[in-house]
């Protein structure tokens, strides 16, 4: 049985959400984590988030919001190519799931 790699994130209110790591994609020498909340990982309307993996002043990995539209589009295209169209990624910037990141991916039935 394959074990899912998971990560726990906290929003600005201290609310904890556990995510499954769907994968990591490298675009222009930056790594991006694609995460989906565990409580949604088995649903048809799977919603995932894109996080850029950066290093803080202590060299620790941190997840950072992708604010640049061109950067977001490049990651979206790379992820869709890897998934061969399994995911449709949309930029929905009004979600505040975690203080450092808030880009969404929607898996829609076509």
DSSP string, 72-84: HHHHHHHHHHHHT
pLDDT tens string 37-94: 887 555 556 677 889 999 999 999 999 888 899 998 899 889 888 876 555 454 434 3
**What are 52's two structure tokens?**
């850029």
Q: What share of the chain is helix, strand, coil (3-state, %, to 5)?
A: 15, 40, 45
Residue 11: pLDDT over 50: yes
Burial class (CB in 10 A: 0-12, 13-18, 19+), 85: exposed
Residue 34: pLDDT over 70: yes
Q: What SS3 class is residue 102?
A: coil
Higher model confidence: residue 30 or residue 48? 30
Q: What SS3 class is residue 39?
A: helix
For position 80, what pLDDT does the model report?
83
Q: What is the pTM of this model?
A: 0.68
Give me the long-range contacts of 18-21 (CB less than 8 A, separation at least 24). 19/49
**Domain assignments of the chain as residue spans, ordered by start:** 6-106
């Amino acid at each position: 049985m394959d074990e899912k790699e998971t990560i726990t994130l906290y929003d600005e209110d201290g609310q904890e959400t556990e995510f499954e790591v769907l994968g990591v994609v490298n675009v222009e020498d930056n790594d991006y984590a694609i995460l989906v909340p565990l409580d949604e990982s088995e649903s048809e309307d799977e919603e995932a988030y894109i996080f850029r993996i950066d290093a803080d002043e202590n060299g620790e990995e941190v997840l950072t919001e992708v604010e640049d539209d061109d950067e977001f589009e490049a990651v979206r295209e790379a992820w869709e190519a890897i998934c061969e169209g399994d995911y449709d990624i949309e930029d929905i910037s009004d979600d505040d799931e975690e203080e450092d990141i808030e880009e969404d991916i929607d898996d829609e039935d076509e």
